[in-house]
Structure 1
Amino acid sequence: MKGTTMVRSMWKGAISFGLVHIPVEMYTAVSDKALDLTMLDRRDFSPVGFKRYNKGNDKEVSWEDIVKGYEYADGEYVVLSEEDLRRANPEATGTIDILAFVDAGDVPLIYYEQPYYLAPGKGGDKVYALLRETLKKAGKIGIANVVIRVKQHLAALVCVDDAITLHTLRYADEIRPTDELKIPGKSSKAATITAKELAMAMALVEGMADAWKPDQYRDTYREDILALVDKKVKAKQTRTITMPDKDSPKPAASNVVDLVALLQASIGKKPGTKAEVAPAPKPKRARKPAAKAATARKKAA
């Protein structure tokens, strides 16, 4: 397609399981939309950079003079080139080695880390499609080992539409236990939930249920920051440092929560809007005194 830049593959190799060998190329599946803020010297607003320097003589080092090394003893290094890293285990650095096929729902979301697209390499279309359709029909994902940029990763091969994606996974010892966190259990007295509260919460969830439409969600905070940048540029306030207000009001804190009232007020409200407080009932009209009421009845007769 004209006018578009072809995405470059970051890794080439093959998916391997049993005697099956699928040539694939790996592509980044996400793009970082984080705000890129530059560090400035507040005295003259000049950018503050990171200097590559030799810790032995304090002189700057150019990129072409930088090599990588492993510190095997204090102050002693073994130089490792890209070729050394490849030769250490040529098969591991060029293969996504599937170890097992597991049910897709068996891997908790906390294990998932970084997603990548896998596209078939030359001559790999048919066997790529075969693996994809097999995974879909079986409802399985492939658990594999892969080496990406010097580090070996545990990974999951997951089908997303017509693509096979590779998600790097965290190892079990990288997941911190929750033992030290104050998380209420089902038997906790402080977190006892009544049947009414649960029913109200279920009604709220059901009322907000919707189909997954990823395009309708945006990073509105990033948009607000960029709008503020544009406003400051137009107002020629690019070097104005905004300080917090001393008398800014603080939200009132309260430990008492009427959960049922909040749930009742929330039901029927659109996501993202604050629940409105129900209007107070209108005061009843005062009843007429007995004497006036009797006089009114006589006149009517």
Structure 2
Amino acid sequence: MPRPLWTGSLSFGLVNVPVQLVSATRDRDVRFHQVRSGTGERIEMRRVVADSDDEVAWDEMARGWETEDGEIVVLTEDDFAGAAPERTRTVDIDLFVDLDEIDPIFFNHPYWLLPAGEGDGPSRAYRLLRDVMAKADQVAIGRIVMRAKEHLVAVREQHGLLSLTTMRFADEIRDPHDTGAIPEGEASEPTEEEVADAVALIEEMTADWEPERYQDSHRARLLGLIEEKRRSGEVRIPEPEPEPEPQRASKDLLAALEESLAKARGEKKVPGTRSPAKRGAVGSTGAKPRSRAKRS
């Protein structure tokens, strides 16, 4: 079992459930050392003062905040204790909401909440909360203090366990209107034919979510490249794929949609023919709706 990152209790009204937190994900990135090119000698990083190159020991390290007029306010680790949240070993539940009410953009890192403690009491309390939350099909919103920082969290039942996902606060989400990139105006408005074909294409590509179908192909290629370099001492560089024509996305949008729709249906596109999807209203393309798995 993974090493617990946090141990405490889940507070649900007057009920306290002993739990421990473990990460629900694992880091599979390929890690490298920084070395000198040609010799493979490892490079050692040192902390030095920018203006004098004097080396700085760990016990001299501090953090600085630069004000608008360029002044550096130096803060030590002891100073940060004044802003630290009250240390608590409890996940305090504030309210329950429907999962569909939460935009996925708010979710951050997932964890498993495992039952903790000995005897039947903690396990019974855990199973009670798990079963009730599964039956209610709702998400508990609360707060947790972890690594000296307070986090907003969402707790729900998943696959027989309680999961806890840290969340972003509302002011951390950039307003999409601030990007200035929302398409507006008649010039960028799609035609009815384009919308009908796009809807039909989505329906043809709709299927149940099977995460096992997707693998980290970049990681596999990178590990293969490392092995090839180890065996032969060199790496074959593939020819780059040609860049797509920049105007195709807008100029030939309808043609690209029809070609994609025909490919999704396994049909051979006949030049000059029209897609049957555009003859009906949007959404009435004749494609059979696929069954969708219930959102968990």
* Aligned partner letter, 1:207: E
In structure 1, the residue matched to 2:76 is: 77
Task: Tell me by how many angstroms 1:207 deviates.
Answer: 1.2
* Aligned partner letter, 2:18: P
Asked if 1:200 is matched to 2:228, the reply is no
In structure 2, the residue matched to 1:36 is: 31
Task: Tell me by how many angstroms 1:59 deviates.
Answer: 4.8
| Alpha-carbon contact 1:68-1:80 (below 8 Å) kept | no
User: What percent of counterpart residues are identical?
Assistant: 30
CA distance in 1, matches of 2:195, 2:137: 32
Asked if 1:230 is matched to 2:227, the reply is yes
- TM-score, with normalisation over the residues of structure 2? 0.74
Task: Tell me by how many angstroms 1:78 deviates.
Answer: 5.4
In structure 2, the residue matched to 1:170 is: 168
In structure 1, the residue matched to 2:127 is: 129
Task: Tell me by how many angstroms 1:192 deviates.
Answer: 1.4
- Tell me the SS of whatever aligns to 1:51: coil
Asked if 1:213 is matched to 2:206, the reply is no
Asked if 1:118 is matched to 2:116, the reply is no
In structure 1, the residue matched to 2:246 is: 253
Task: Tell me by how many angstroms 1:264 deviates.
Answer: 1.6
- Tell me the SS of whatever aligns to 1:14: strand
In structure 2, the residue matched to 1:21 is: 16
| Alpha-carbon contact 2:201-2:264 (below 8 Å) kept | no
| Alpha-carbon contact 1:115-1:168 (below 8 Å) kept | yes
Change (3 A) 1:270 1:219: farther
| Alpha-carbon contact 2:116-2:123 (below 8 Å) kept | yes
- Tell me the SS of whatever aligns to 1:196: helix
CA distance in 1, matches of 2:94, 2:203: 40
In structure 2, the residue matched to 1:183 is: 182
| Alpha-carbon contact 1:207-1:268 (below 8 Å) kept | no
| Alpha-carbon contact 1:68-1:79 (below 8 Å) kept | no
CA distance in 1, matches of 2:151, 2:233: 49
Asked if 1:140 is matched to 2:133, the reply is no
| Alpha-carbon contact 1:71-1:78 (below 8 Å) kept | no
Unaligned runs of 5+ in 1: 1-5, 282-301
Task: Tell me by how many angstroms 1:131 deviates.
Answer: 1.4
Change (3 A) 1:19 1:9: same
* Aligned partner letter, 2:127: A
CA distance in 2, matches of 1:43, 1:113: 40
Change (3 A) 1:155 1:178: same
The higher radius of gyration belongs to 1
Q: What RMSD in Å do the two structures reach over aligned CA positions?
A: 3.5
Task: Tell me by how many angstroms 1:138 deviates.
Answer: 1.8
- TM-score, with normalisation over the residues of structure 1? 0.73
Change (3 A) 1:78 1:167: closer
* Aligned partner letter, 1:113: N
Task: Tell me by how many angstroms 1:58 deviates.
Answer: 4.0
CA distance in 2, matches of 1:252, 1:71: 48
- Tell me the SS of whatever aligns to 1:25: strand
Asked if 1:269 is matched to 2:269, the reply is no
- Tell me the SS of whatever aligns to 1:269: helix
- Tell me the SS of whatever aligns to 2:30: coil
- Tell me the SS of whatever aligns to 2:28: coil
- Tell me the SS of whatever aligns to 1:237: coil
Change (3 A) 1:232 1:47: same
CA distance in 2, matches of 1:45, 1:109: 43
CA distance in 2, matches of 1:229, 1:70: 38
| 1:45 aligns with one of 25, 40, 45 | 40
Unaligned runs of 5+ in 2: 66-71, 273-296
CA distance in 2, matches of 1:280, 1:198: 21
CA distance in 2, matches of 1:230, 1:53: 37
CA distance in 2, matches of 1:116, 1:67: 35
- Tell me the SS of whatever aligns to 2:183: coil
| Alpha-carbon contact 2:62-2:75 (below 8 Å) kept | no
Which gives a bigger RCO, structure 1 or 2 (Cα 8 Å, sep 6+)?
Answer: 2
In structure 1, the residue matched to 2:156 is: 158
Task: Tell me by how many angstroms 1:76 deviates.
Answer: 5.7
